[in-house]
Amino acid sequence: MIKYETKMRVEYYETDAMGIVHHSNYIRYFETARTELFRSMGYSYNELEKSGIFMPVLSVDAEFKTPAVYDEVLSVFCWVEKLRGASIVLGYEVRGSESGQLHVTGSSSHGFTSPDLKPLRLKKEAPEIYEAFRKAME
Amino acid sequence: MIKYETKMRVEYYETDAMGIVHHSNYIRYFETARTELFRSMGYSYNELEKSGIFMPVLSVDAEFKTPAVYDEVLSVFCWVEKLRGASIVLGYEVRGSESGQLHVTGSSSHGFTSPDLKPLRLKKEAPEIYEAFRKAME
Amino acid sequence: MIKYETKMRVEYYETDAMGIVHHSNYIRYFETARTELFRSMGYSYNELEKSGIFMPVLSVDAEFKTPAVYDEVLSVFCWVEKLRGASIVLGYEVRGSESGQLHVTGSSSHGFTSPDLKPLRLKKEAPEIYEAFRKAME
Amino acid sequence: MIKYETKMRVEYYETDAMGIVHHSNYIRYFETARTELFRSMGYSYNELEKSGIFMPVLSVDAEFKTPAVYDEVLSVFCWVEKLRGASIVLGYEVRGSESGQLHVTGSSSHGFTSPDLKPLRLKKEAPEIYEAFRKAME
Residue C16 annotated to the active site? yes
Q: How confident is the model at residue C17 (pLDDT cuts 50, 70, 90)?
A: very high
ipTM value for the complex: 0.96
What pLDDT does residue C96 have?
Answer: 98
**A19 interfaces chain D, CB cutoff of 8 Å:** no
Task: Tell me whether residues B60 and A62 touch, CB distance under 8 A.
Answer: yes
Q: What is the mean pLDDT of residues D35-63?
A: 96
pLDDT tens digits, one per residue of C31-50: 999 999 999 999 999 999 99
In the predicted structure, residue A138 carries a pLDDT above the cut 90 = no
**A56 interfaces chain D, CB cutoff of 8 Å:** no
For residue D23, the chain C residues in CB contact (below 8 A) are: 27, 57, 60
In the predicted structure, residue A85 carries a pLDDT above the cut 90 = no
First-residue to last-residue Cα distance in chain C: 5
Of A108, A21, A113, residue with least CA distance to A67 = A21
Nearest-Cα residue of chain C relative to residue D66: C58
**C1 interfaces chain D, CB cutoff of 8 Å:** no
Task: Tell me whether residues C13 and A19 touch, CB distance under 8 A.
Answer: no
pLDDT tens digits, one per residue of C119-131: 999 999 999 999 9
Task: Tell me whether residues A35 and D11 touch, CB distance under 8 A.
Answer: yes
pLDDT tens digits, one per residue of A56-83: 999 999 999 999 999 999 999 999 999 9
Q: How confident is the model at residue D2 (pLDDT cuts 50, 70, 90)?
A: confident
Q: How confident is the model at residue A117 (pLDDT cuts 50, 70, 90)?
A: confident
In the predicted structure, residue D117 carries a pLDDT above the cut 90 = no
Test mutation, B22, B49, B57, B118, chain A, max A CBs within 10 A: B57
In the predicted structure, residue B31 carries a pLDDT above the cut 90 = yes
**Which chains are within 8 Å of B by 3+ CB pairs?**
A, C, D
Q: How confident is the model at residue B44 (pLDDT cuts 50, 70, 90)?
A: very high
Q: Report chain D's C-alpha Rg in angstroms.
A: 16
d(CA C92, CA C79): 7
Q: Report chain C's C-alpha Rg in angstroms.
A: 16
**C61 interfaces chain D, CB cutoff of 8 Å:** yes
In the predicted structure, residue B2 carries a pLDDT above the cut 90 = no
For residue B117, the chain A residues in CB contact (below 8 A) are: 67
d(CA B75, CA C29): 21
Nearest-Cα residue of chain C relative to residue A14: C16
Sort B101 into a burial class: Cβ within 10 Å, 0-12 / 13-18 / 19+: middle
Q: What is the mean pLDDT of residues B76-81?
A: 98
CA C122 to chain centre: 18
